[in-house]
Structure 1
Amino acid sequence: MLCAVLATALVAGACSTAPIDVGTTTTASVADGPRTARTASADPVPVTGTPAPVLPATVRTHDGRSVTVTDVSRIVALDRYGSYGTAVFALGLGRNLVGRDIATKFPAAEPIPIVTRGGTDANVESIIALRPTVVLTDDSLPNATTLQTQLSAAGIPVVVGDENRTVDGTDSLLRSTAAALGVPAAGDALVTRTDAQIAQARSLVPKNVDRPRIAFVYARGTGLLILGGPGSGADSMIDLIGGQDAGTASGLTDAFTSLTSEGLIKAKPDVLLMMTDGLASVGGIDGLLKVPGVTETPAGRDRRVIDMDDGELLSFGARTGDVAVALARALYGSP
């Protein structure tokens, strides 16, 4: 689960997307007060009806191997972000998913067994017991190498993708997943839809204003508070919606750094971005304002906090555009 990744600050680095040109600056135009960003649908919307996979499908994986998939009737999708499980549903193959990671978190996925222990390490025995015909995964899991070796030795096709999560990597993730499952046309359609949503999110960014400084804060109670920086994934999403990542702008060099009052004050965020469960874990907005340093920031003084479902905010892939639109609307008060 992504929470375990942030808790240990072990997320693989990711490149930020290029900044949006918002022209000559005047003043930031962000909505006041706390807001919750919500996507149009709790479940990923299939881009098509159930597609007919063209198999066998032979693909070159991110680790340089050639893998042939002959059957996609029993798919297991595993990564720290829920990207592959979400993509399977969005490609119209959700009924074929028989095992998932804990970050594949939406109503339609609830009946599917979770095979990641403690939210991160995948249980090889549990996966094999599901009799998968293909496993989609990457190196974002702590035991990735062992997992991939043991599953391959058991004769299960293992398709390894790129573990980095950025807006710019969205199209590649979707197309490679679709190709491995024998549904490249559905992948192209999903890319087209996602790119249109990303363009819509960009269109919601006000022109000729300052880029608001947005700090991604991960929380699991007041005892675990982490500030996002370059390569967190949140920086890429913040850039997409016209903001600047406050942690990066303040000089952070790591993807995640333990939050201190001094660090937060130095970051000078106009807005705090959090996962919904994380915000609840510190007692909501009122509890967050009691965290040292929060009320000394522009965001804290004006109660500008945006929260979003834990399973959506940094899932990327099939929901990148949907999430970006929801965040942009929450940030700027767009209809």
Structure 2
Amino acid sequence: MRAIRRGRLAALGLTLALLTGACASSADVATTKTGPEPTSASARAAKAGKQLAANTLVPLAGKAPTPELPVTVGSSDGRKVTVTDASRILPLNGGVAEIVFTLGLGERVVGRDITATFKEAKKLPQVTKAHDVSAESVLSLRPTVVLADTDTGPKEAIDQIRDAGIPVVVLDVATKLSDVTTRTTRIAAALGVPAAGEALNARMSDELAAARAAVPEGSRPKVAFLYMRGSAAVYLIGGKGSGADSLLDAAGAVDAGTQAGLDRPFTPITTEALAQAQPDVILMMTKGLDSVGGLDGLLQIPGIAQTPAGMNRRVVDLEDGVLLSFGPRTPLVIDILVDRIHQG
């Protein structure tokens, strides 16, 4: 379940105006433009699909920002942390790593955790084993600042890293889209590049608004998010706080689990729960769908075939490292969801 929680979102709230008269190191920060933006849902989804298939990030345009340090920032474990050097950054969460790279600081990143699956991070040494941090692996990379979240563990490993004199900034786990703005702002502040954080928040907010504008008028399908790992006999349905509920709302859909009264993020799937949820569409992670034998295997799970989604074979899957990452690629996820969940 830590994989679910750590992959949750971060997100894209209100557009933040870029500061004028910013300091010299921030002057080159700009958003990246990749040509005219498509307006139809299908065109936006096609463009988003190509970018996700390439598994790469689009950093902010212009020269990489120069950190202005030292800074002292609040950490979600109740500490005040002073960062004096951002030359060797180690993010211990895939969504956090996406933000660091997109801010233009990827050349300073020295390692990754297992959830950082995008192409730019693949070459970096991995410091986690089955989602647990190896303090020895972290210390061997000599990071000057570590970015973690409240689910990062084990606690003993984080304490060992901190006891070695390395600043560790802990962030709240993102559980809804609006958390992404706060998360980006906090990461940019901790790394001494606040103006880059403002620029990235503005870009993501614009992208999300454009995705939402493509939602067909009057369409409000019910979508159930299913988290499955067939080999481990894990079969869960998402409810309130799963992270998927926020994504589905942004994409103009109703989270079927939440509407059915599931007040926990994840609940074991039962035929009764599915009968009550009655989803029009099922949303899954790609590896989860593969783990149960694809669409045909999914329909063999009791209760699935009897839902409208099962009867109409309406299943949408997205890559595990992207769907609940709540990072700079989340607007692409919304583009794809808007197109695929509203199809007849």
**Cα gap change, 1:148 to 1:39, in 2 (>3 Å):** farther
How far, CA to CA, are the matches of 2:227 and 2:325 in structure 1? 15
Whose relative contact order is higher, 1 or 2, with alpha carbons under 8 Å and at least 6 apart? 1
Equivalent in the alignment of 2:192: 182
Equivalent in the alignment of 2:29: none
Equivalent in the alignment of 2:58: 45
Equivalent in the alignment of 1:114: 126
Equivalent in the alignment of 1:126: 137
Which 4+ runs in 1 deviate beyond 4 A? 10-18
How far, CA to CA, are the matches of 1:176 and 1:92 in structure 2? 15
Matched, 1:282 2:292: yes
Equivalent in the alignment of 2:306: 296
Q: TM-score, normalised by structure 1?
A: 0.85
State whether residues 226 and 258 of structure 1, in contact with CA within 8 Å, keep that contact through their aligned partners in structure 2.
Answer: yes
3, 12, 17: which one aligns with 1:5: 3
How far, CA to CA, are the matches of 1:131 and 1:13 in structure 2? 28
SS in 2 for 1:311: helix
User: How many correspondences in the alignment?
Assistant: 309
Equivalent in the alignment of 2:224: 215
Give aligned-pair identity as a percent. 46
How far, CA to CA, are the matches of 1:262 and 1:274 in structure 2? 20
Equivalent in the alignment of 1:105: 117
Give the deviation of 1:71 after TM superposition.
1.4
281, 284, 287: which one aligns with 1:271: 281
Letter in 1 for 2:73: V
SS in 2 for 1:225: strand
**Unmatched segments (≥5 aa) in structure 1:** 19-29
Equivalent in the alignment of 2:17: none
How far, CA to CA, are the matches of 1:54 and 1:164 in structure 2? 26
Letter in 1 for 2:78: G
Letter in 2 for 1:44: L
How far, CA to CA, are the matches of 2:11 and 2:65 in structure 1? 33
Equivalent in the alignment of 2:23: none
Give the deviation of 1:265 after TM superposition.
2.1
**Unmatched segments (≥5 aa) in structure 2:** 14-40
Moved more, 273-282 or 260-269: 260-269
Give the deviation of 1:329 after TM superposition.
2.1
Instruction: Encode CA deviations 1:105-146: one digit per residue, 9 max, x unaligned.
Output: 11121111121211x211111111111110000111242x33
Q: TM-score, normalised by structure 2?
A: 0.83
How far, CA to CA, are the matches of 1:231 and 1:11 in structure 2? 13
How far, CA to CA, are the matches of 2:262 and 2:86 in structure 1? 43
How far, CA to CA, are the matches of 2:50 and 2:327 in structure 1? 14
SS in 1 for 2:223: strand
**Cα gap change, 1:90 to 1:229, in 2 (>3 Å):** same
Structure with higher helix content:
2
Matched, 1:141 2:141: no
Letter in 1 for 2:128: T
How far, CA to CA, are the matches of 1:111 and 1:147 in structure 2? 23
